[in-house]
């Protein structure tokens, strides 16, 4: 879980970039599961709101390259 300061810093970063710069975020969690990581829906909702506004979301599936390499090694 992220600390309170880390959540605040991430929100400030996303908020500063919102509408001005491109942001790429990769995750293996759906937005609905972000509350588990942040432990604060009051922060998650505005972050996700800013990230998905004007966004292109690519949902990719398949096997993890890292897990595949680990099994082969």
pLDDT tops 90 at residue 71: no
7: region left, alpha or beta (phi > 0 left; psi from -120 to 50 alpha): alpha
Give the structural domain span for 44.
4-72
Structure confidence at residue 17 (pLDDT): 92
Domain total in the chain: 1
Structure confidence at residue 16 (pLDDT): 94
pLDDT digits (tens, 9 = 90+) for 6-62: 989 999 999 999 989 998 988 888 888 888 888 878 888 999 999 999 889 888 887
pLDDT tops 80 at residue 1: no
What is d(CA 61, CA 8) in angstroms, rounded to the nearest whole number?
Answer: 31
pLDDT tops 80 at residue 73: no
């Amino acid at each position: 879980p992220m600390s309170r300061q880390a959540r605040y810093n991430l929100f400030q970063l996303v908020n500063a970039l919102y509408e001005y710069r491109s942001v790429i975020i990769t995750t293996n969690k759906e937005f609905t599961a972000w509350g588990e990581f942040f432990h604060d829906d009051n922060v998650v909702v505005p972050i996700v709101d800013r990230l998905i506004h004007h966004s292109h979301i690519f949902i990719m599936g398949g096997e993890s390259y890292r897990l595949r390499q680990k099994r082969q090694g």
